[in-house]
Amino acid sequence: MDDKILISVENLSKNFAVRNRIGRKTVLHAVDGVSFQIARGETLGLVGESGCGKTTLGRTILRLLEPDGGRILYDGTDITRVNMRPYRSKMQIIFQDPAGSLDPRSQICDIVAEGLCVTGAGLSRGDRASKVTELLEKVGLDGGIARRYPHEFSGGQQQRIGIARALAVNPEFIVCDEPVSALDVSYQSQIITLLEQMQENMNLTYMFISHDLSVVRHISDRIGVMYLGRIVELGGGVEIGVHAAHPYTRSLLTAVPVPDPQVSRAREQEPIADIQTDGGIPSQGCRFHASCPHAMPVCAVEEPQLREIAPNHLCACHLHAAP
C-alpha cells in the first residue's frame, strides 16, 4: 500500500432507521458504498446539497457514527472496529456552528485544554496554561482571553477557538465540517487563510465539507461531489470546477452565483436543473436519472460506477462509459 495515503475509505456505508410519512419503518442509506483515499498533507473537499450525506460521511470516518459496512484505514491500519482511543488525538473535527460547539459554561482555557488533559497527561498546570496561550496565539487570538467565556466572542473568534481546541492534541487529520458557512465574508476569508497556514505549518490533512463550491474550490486539492449518499464525481480543482463531467456537478456549477456581472449576464439563458432530492433513492438505475437533462434508457436500469475518465478525474455516469 502507498505509504503517502493517510485515509483510505473502502465501500463505506451508513444507514439510519427512519419512519416515513405514514409511520412505517424504512432504512435511509445516508452514505452508500463510498470509496476514496486522502494523501498526507492533502485537502479533499466534499460538496453536495443538504441531505446528500456529506456530514454523515465525515462523522463516520471519525467513527463518531458507527459504519454499517465497508472499511476505514488510517495510515494503513484498519480502524473500522478498533477502540478509537489512541486515534482520537490524531483525528479531529471542526464544526459548523462555532457557538454551539463550545460549552457556554466553560472558560476558553478549559475548552482548549480539555484534550490536553487526556493526551498530555503529566503536563503540569503551568505547562498546560502556557500551551493554551501558545495555541490561542497560533490561531490569531490574544493569549490573555483564556479566562473568558465563549459568548464574549464573535462568530469568527469562536471558530478560531474551535480550531485551537482541535489543534491542541497535535492531530494529523482534521474533518472541517462547514467551518465557514455560518460566518461573514471577512471572517470567512480569515478562517480559510488560517486553516491554510495551519496546514502548511503542521502538515495537516483535511477533509473539507461544505455546500459552497466556491470555498471548496479554493481550499481543496481534490474535490468529491456527493449526491444521495454516493460520490458521483471526484477530481482535481480544475477538473471539477471548470471541466466537470457529471451532469449533476454541471447543474451545481451553473447554479453557483459568480461574483462577476459579465459572467452572470452571459449565463442568463442557461437552464437550471430542477434537482429532486426529497424523492429518496430510486430502486434501480442512476440516482440522478430523474433530474438529469441527458438521461438515456440505460440510466433508468443500471447504476453507473465511479471510473476514471481522465487522469485524476473519476466520474460515475453512463455518458462517460468506457468505450
Partner 1 sequence: MVDKLYQTNDSDILLEIRDLDVSFPTGRGELRAVNGISYNVRRGEVMGIIGESGSGKSVEAYTILGFLKAPGKINAGTAAFEGRDLLAMSRRELETFRGREISMIFQNPMSCLDPVFTIGRQLTETLQTHFKGVSASQAREKSIEMLRSVGIRDADRLMKRYAFELSGGMRQRVMIAIALLCSPKLLIADEPTTALDVTTQAQILRLLKKLRRQTDMAMIYITHNFGIVAEICDRVSVMYGGYILEQGTVDDMFYRAAHPYTQALLKAVPRVDSLPPYEPLIPIEGAPVDPVNPPDGCVFHPRCAFCTEICRREAPPRTVFSAEHSASCWRLDGGAAEER
Q: Residue 84 and residue 64: Cα distance in Å, rounded?
A: 10
Question: Long-range pairs for 97-100 at CB < 8 Å and ≥24 separation?
Answer: 97/182, 98/155, 98/158, 98/159, 98/161, 98/162, 98/182, 98/183, 99/150, 99/151, 99/155, 99/158
Q: What sign for the dihedral angle of Cα 57, 63, 64, 68?
A: positive
Residue 273 contacts partner 1 per CB under 8 A: yes
d(CA 138, CA 188): 18
State yes or no: residue 254 binds partner 1 (CB under 8 A): yes
- From the list 113-121, 130-138, 214-222, 292-300, the region that binds partner 1 by CB under 8 A is 214-222
**Where does this chain touch partner 1 (CB under 8 A) — which range of 114-122, 124-132, 258-266, 293-301?**
258-266
In this structure, which amino acid lies at residue 184? Answer: D
**117 binds partner 1, rule: CB under 8 A:** no
Give the interface segment with partner 1, choosing from 8-16, 69-77, 91-99, 152-160 (CB under 8 A). 152-160
When asked if residue 28 is in the footprint of partner 1 (CB under 8 A), the reply is no
Does residue 264 bind partner 1 (CB under 8 A)?
yes
Helix (H, G, I), strand (E, B) or coil at 71: strand
Residue found under cell 494529523 = 172
- Strand ranges inside the chain, DSSP E: 5-19, 25-39, 43-47, 69-74, 77-78, 91-94, 173-177, 205-209, 222-227, 230-236, 307-310, 313-315
Q: Which of 132, 146, 192, 316 binds partner 1 (CB under 8 A)?
A: 192
Given 78, 137, 184, 308, the residue binding partner 1 (CB under 8 A): 184
100 with 159: CB under 8 angstroms? no
Site for partner 1 in 43-72 (CB under 8 A): 49-50
158 binds partner 1 (CB under 8 A): no
**Cα(50)–Cα(56) distance, rounded to whole angstroms?**
11
User: How many residues make contact with partner 1 (CB under 8 A)?
Assistant: 43
Q: Which of 43, 157, 158, 159 binds partner 1 (CB under 8 A)?
A: 157
Radius of gyration of the chain (CA): 21
Q: Does 96 bind partner 1 (CB under 8 A)?
A: no
Among residues 128, 131, 148, 211, the one that binds partner 1 under rule CB under 8 A = 211
Decide if residue 251 touches partner 1 (CB under 8 A): yes
Asked if residue 229 binds partner 1 (CB under 8 A), the reply is no
Closest-CA residue to 3 (of 35, 41, 55)? 41
Closest approach of partner 1 to the CB of residue 264, in Å: 5
For residue 137, state whether it binds partner 1 (rule: CB under 8 A).
no
In the complex, minimum distance from the CB of residue 216 to partner 1, in angstroms, rounded to a whole number: 8
Q: Identify the DSSP state of 303.
A: P
The verdict on 142 binding partner 1 (CB under 8 A) reads no
Chain contacts with partner 1 (rule: CB under 8 A): 49-50, 154, 156-157, 184-186, 188-190, 192-193, 211, 213-215, 217-219, 238, 241-242, 251-261, 263-265, 272-275, 277-278
